Amino acid sequence: MDNLITFLLVGLVAGFLAGKFIKGKGFGILGNIILGIVGAFLGGFLLSLVGFETTNIIGNVITAFVGALVFLFLVGKFAK
């Protein structure tokens, strides 16, 4: 249960930061969590390709943030 709560909190923080960075505001609490979770998976995959691995919560937030930024960038490109 602690892992799920940590995962959701990391997703919330990463999604909020990515929303602020790209859009200038967040996407709401549920939107931020979903964005952060998608970002965590995408960021984990992309950064593992270059040999980056996280071992703490700060690294997990950074990884999810990077993934969320990439996800928002791709959605922006394909939505146009």
Evaluate if residue 38 carries a pLDDT over 70: yes
**CA-CA distance, 35 to 52, in Å (whole number)?**
21
Stated pTM of the model = 0.84
Evaluate if residue 72 carries a pLDDT over 80: yes
Q: Mean pLDDT across the stretch 47-53?
A: 89
Question: In this structure, what are the phi and psi dihedrals at residue 53, rounded to the nearest 5 degrees?
Answer: -135, 140
**CA-CA distance, 18 to 26, in Å (whole number)?**
8
User: What residue numbers bound the domain in which 50 lies?
Assistant: 2-75
- Looking at the domain assignment, is residue 55 inside a domain? yes
- Looking at the domain assignment, is residue 57 inside a domain? yes
Evaluate if residue 2 carries a pLDDT over 80: no
pLDDT in tens, 11-31: 888 888 888 888 776 677 888
Domains identified in the chain, total number: 1
Mean pLDDT of the chain: 84
